[in-house]
């Protein structure tokens, strides 16, 4: 792809300010886009926008297609007449962190009330006609998803492998029976998706109309407890009882000495090939409808993936297994044309990964923090003066500490190198931003935490640590005119 030289900010919507316990797609999201405009940025990058499951990770969602109902803005529902102020002003929430458990218990009954009120409107009205049209246009995934979520509600949140055998195995008679019995719940979950995508698409249009592109994110794998694994089990490495034979992970690396045991089901690539990669084509097409560019997470898994025996406690005993990435992208391009992708090519990168990325002209990723690690032989690949143009440089990602956190905890030799290379004096974050913006990389991205010069307390995720992740939020007053002007000046200086 012929990308233009740009810069922007990585911020997941959950981190936006607001009074209802979590960032949403409402007024604060529009204010964030205004900040991007005023500071000269052209990109807003998010993590996956799907409904999160265990651990609250956007990389472990109940669906590869659906949106996260927790991001639905309640004030918009009030403006639309489906809620009252008295329905929502019942709790004073922590503005610094998302408290997912209490938030879910509080917000879903309110969303249920909005659905009840929506359901009373004239079925021939424009609003209801838009809802019906949304359901029809998205039935390729929405019917299965709404049934899946209704079944999870009915079975008290149990993962689908613990459901009764008839519906676990998707016996046609069982699917028919539960679809009838759970009709109201199915309708509710379809309504939540309608509201999410209505709000998201308006927000995305506001960004696009102001020359802001959205970079979305496709996790390579789907969650084990997901509609995708349940409804399309033949595409995964399951035995006859739908138990995984092997699961996903990565070997020991920069982040973890024992590797990372993700636990996601692995693909049955033979089945994918036999069907012409239809599942993948639909998934990528869907993501490109809500994003302008898509970051393909764990890209190297399309050349070879780390397969860990099901039941292992760590990822150490895994093995590399070849994957048909070349055939996949050939099929995708044949169906969809040249698509705007970024390849997350971090970790153990072998020549075949580089060859695949280059064959399809996909920009890879550079993490500026990695450039100064004296113990990593690959660090030389992350120093800006060796970049080629076709890459995206990040000060850090959702998986890294903030640059201030990294700097404060760096070994003296690494800190000295970064200080000398980036010209660090009093400030740490902005020399990193300046180093990224000055590079030849076609796109440069900083996390919002780095733009706000925050320390480790603002870290979004620590890989391999089960709790306390994905909670960080900022307060609107942290965005000052000084930060806005400084970022705009750096952006103009380096032609982004």
Put residue 461 in one of left, alpha, beta given phi > 0 → left and psi -120 to 50 → alpha: beta
In the residue annotation, 344 being an active-site residue is answered as: yes
**What span, in angstroms and rounded, lies between the C-alpha atoms of 321 and 470?**
31
Catalytic-role residue among 225, 297, 373, 450: 297
**What span, in angstroms and rounded, lies between the C-alpha atoms of 79 and 117?**
13
Q: Are strands 341-343 and 293-296 parallel, antiparallel or unpaired?
A: parallel
Catalytic-role residue among 28, 344, 373, 401: 344
Q: If you search the block for the tokens 């803005």, which residue do you land on?
A: 73
Active site residues: 297, 344, 399
């Amino acid at each position: 792809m012929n990308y233009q030289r740009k810069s922007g900010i990585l911020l997941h919507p959950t981190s936006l300010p607001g009074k209802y316990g979590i960032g949403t797609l409402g007024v604060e999201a529009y204010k964030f886009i205004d900040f991007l405009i005023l500071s000269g940025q052209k990109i807003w990058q998010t993590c996956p926008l799907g409904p999160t499951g265990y651990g609250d990770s956007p990389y472990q969602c109940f669906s590869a297609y659906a949106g996260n109902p927790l991001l639905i803005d309640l004030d918009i529902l009030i403006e639309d007449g489906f809620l009252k102020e008295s329905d929502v002003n019942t709790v004073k929430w922590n503005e610094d962190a998302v408290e997912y458990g209490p938030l879910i218990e509080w917000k879903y009954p309110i969303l249920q009330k909005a659905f009840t009120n929506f359901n009373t409107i004239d079925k021939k009205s424009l609003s209801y006609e838009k809802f019906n049209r949304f359901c029809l246009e998205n039935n390729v995934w929405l019917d299965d998803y709404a049934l899946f979520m209704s079944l999870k509600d009915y079975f008290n949140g149990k993962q689908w492998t613990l459901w009764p055998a008839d519906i676990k195995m998707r016996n046609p008679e069982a699917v028919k029976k539960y679809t009838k019995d759970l009709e109201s719940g199915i309708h509710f979950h379809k309504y939540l998706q309608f509201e999410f995508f209505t709000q998201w698409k308006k927000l995305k249009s506001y960004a696009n109309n102001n020359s802001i592109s959205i970079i979305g994110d496709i996790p390579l794998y789907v969650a084990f407890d997901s509609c995708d694994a349940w409804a399309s089990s033949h595409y995964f490495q399951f035995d006859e009882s739908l138990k995984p034979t092997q699961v996903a992970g990565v070997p020991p690396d920069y982040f973890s000495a024992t590797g990372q045991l993700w636990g996601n089901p692995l693909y049955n690539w033979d089945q994918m090939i036999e069907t012409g990669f239809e599942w993948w084509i639909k998934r990528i097409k869907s993501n490109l409808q809500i994003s302008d560019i898509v970051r393909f997470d764990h890209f190297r898994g399309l050349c070879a993936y780390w397969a860990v025996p099901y039941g292992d406690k760590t990822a150490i005993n895994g093995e590399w297994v070849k994957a048909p990435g070349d055939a996949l992208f050939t099929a995708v391009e044949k169906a969809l044309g040249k698509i705007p992708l970024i390849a997350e090519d971090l970790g153990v990168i072998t020549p075949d990964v580089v060859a695949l990325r280059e064959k399809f002209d996909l920009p890879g990723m550079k993490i500026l923090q990695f450039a100064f690690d004296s113990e990593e032989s690959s660090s030389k690949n992350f120093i800006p003066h060796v970049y080629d143009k076709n890459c995206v440089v990040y000060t850090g990602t959702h998986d890294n500490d903030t640059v201030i956190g990294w700097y404060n905890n760096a070994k003296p030799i690494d800190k000295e190198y970064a200080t000398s290379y980036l010209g660090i004096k009093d400030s740490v974050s902005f020399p990193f931003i300046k180093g990224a913006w000055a590079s030849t990389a076609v796109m440069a991205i900083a996390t919002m935490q780095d733009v706000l010069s925050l320390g480790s307390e603002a870290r979004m995720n620590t890989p391999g640590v089960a709790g306390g992740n994905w909670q960080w939020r900022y307060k609107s007053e942290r965005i000052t005119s000084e930060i806005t002007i400084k970022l705009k000046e750096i952006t103009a200086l380096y032609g982004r």
